[in-house]
Amino acid sequence: MAHEKLKVMELFAGVGGFRLGLEKANPQLFDTVWANQWEPSRKAQDAFECYSRNFHTGIHSNEDIATVSDDLFREISPDLIVGGFPCQDYSVARTLSGEKGIQGKKGVLFWEIKRALENGNPRYVLLENVDRLLKSPSSQRGRDFAVMLGTFRDLGYSVEWRVINAAEYGFAQRRRRVFIFAYKNDIVYENDIRELEQHDIVFKHGFFAESFPVKEDPYKDRMDSVTLPEDIVEISDSFSYTFHTAGIMRDGEVFTAHVDPIQKKPTPLSDILIEEELVDDKFYLTPEEEEKFRYLRGPKRIERVSASGHKYNFSEGGMSPTDELDKPGRTMLTSEGSINRSTHIVEVNGRKRLLTPIECERLNGFPDNWTFGMTDRMRYFCMGNALVVGLIETMGKRIEEIEKLEQRTVQLELTF
């Protein structure tokens, strides 16, 4: 039986990593009908132009998400909302009148996701963020993530999450990100796993456990459960908690554990390098640049003076002068390609050089020249912001399994 397409809405789309991964998983199932990408306070909208150049269907929106109307979300009525959004301050307060419920800080993009969910009412939500989201803010650890979980709970969703290091599942970059999969409480998948113990969902049978397996022996002292306060303002004001690298929340009941991945052999850096004769001379380091990188990557202890006049020692350990070609790359940052301690340096045939933009695309699993047309600096920046496409492809296949179950059940109900 042919399955109906899933209407996908992509928020904070960047250069389209979510869409690319989902289309690799199954282009017949995932239909991105609307995608929004807008870089505030920038004249050049490089990421949006890249997205529009590479994808030719659906509506591509280049506007402040806060100006998109509730009606549009209702009209599109997506089945799946995806997006990588910034880690911000998710604190909330009661409105002045008290009757209109709560309000979040202005400009916080998670509240735009909430608005899309309230009006679009999707079955599934797949989000990505930096792993520090689970611990922020430092003054009230775990509050921001708890506010998110409380928001999903209030909108009728259950949530599974997992911090995934792409290299541990066979990819070429040691990139750690938290992925959040939320789903409506009335779908078949939710009804099925409701029968399972929370422990078994996190370690064996849940959304992430099936696709990214972990060892069954938990870290005994890093496993916990808690009930979220019913009032989200109370969560914001006083709730603090240690969320581990994996977990599930349903009906406000949280189970979380530190999981140990069953690792696959990672892709080494050498596998993503282009042929050396194709590398432009501008990517090779000059003697002066080599000297700067030697200093930046070396150990150092520097006396500094704080704004208040207090003297202190800043120190950092040394790192290898070049990145090892038989290991996966380190996490790529938006500063990749600049003279910066975090920039990758490879040595090939006795010559040291930067990674090229194409190699950075490969590090994230994008096709060669995906970002062609913008400056090298912006190509590095976009890849530093991107996600590892192969992870989304794997998650897309898992959503496909869940959706097949959903559609099969609907067909059976119609038959009877």
Residue-wise pLDDT tens digits, 6-47 = 999 999 999 999 999 999 999 999 999 999 999 987 889 999
Q: In total, how many domains does the chain have?
A: 2
CA angle 208, 128, 107 (to 5 degrees): 150
Q: Is residue 65 part of a domain?
A: yes
Q: Is residue 71 part of a domain?
A: yes
Q: Is residue 1 part of a domain?
A: no
**CA–CA distance from 103 to each of 94, 98, 133, 231, 401 (Å)?**
6, 10, 20, 13, 37
CA angle 24, 82, 15 (to 5 degrees): 65
Beta strands in 281-378 (DSSP E): 300-305, 311-316, 345-348, 351-354
- CATH number, domain of 119, equals 3.40.50.150
Half-sphere exposure of 166 (CA within 13 A, CB side): 29
One domain, residues 347 and 281: yes
Give residue 256's pLDDT band: very low, low, confident or very high (50, 70, 90): very high
One domain, residues 399 and 301: no
One domain, residues 170 and 281: no
Residue-wise pLDDT tens digits, 93-141 = 877 765 556 677 878 899 999 999 999 999 999 999 999 999 999 999 9
Measured CA to CA, the distance from residue 15 to residue 87 in angstroms comes to 19
Domain span including residue 353: 269-385
Catalytic residue among 50, 87, 360, 382: 87
One domain, residues 194 and 328: no
Return the residue matching tokens 């132009």.
Answer: 49
DSSP-assigned beta bridge partners for residue 178: 129, 163
- Are 329 and 323 a contacting pair, CB within 8 Å? yes
Is position 87 annotated as part of the catalytic site?
Answer: yes
Per-residue DSSP letters for 369-403? Answer: TTTBTB-HHHHHHHHHH---HHHHHHHHHHHHHHH
- CATH number, domain of 284, equals 3.90.120.10
One domain, residues 305 and 260: no
Give residue 1's pLDDT band: very low, low, confident or very high (50, 70, 90): very low
Residues 6+ positions from 260 with CB-CB distance below 8 Å: 214, 215, 217, 219
One domain, residues 323 and 176: no
One domain, residues 237 and 324: no
Residue-wise pLDDT tens digits, 149-205 = 999 999 999 999 999 999 999 999 999 999 999 999 999 999 999 999 999 999 999
One domain, residues 295 and 395: no
- Are 36 and 65 a contacting pair, CB within 8 Å? yes
Residue 93 is predicted with a pLDDT of 85
User: Does the pLDDT at position 247 exceed 70?
Assistant: yes
One domain, residues 26 and 153: yes
Residue-wise pLDDT tens digits, 277-330 = 999 999 999 999 999 999 999 998 888 888 888 888 878 888 999 999 999 999
One domain, residues 278 and 229: no
- Are 78 and 34 a contacting pair, CB within 8 Å? yes
One domain, residues 340 and 370: yes
CA dihedral 177, 178, 179, 183 (to 10 degrees): -170
Residues 6+ positions from 186 with CB-CB distance below 8 Å: 156
One domain, residues 92 and 130: yes
Question: Which residue type, as a one-letter code, is found at position 54?
Answer: N
Q: Is residue 332 part of a domain?
A: yes
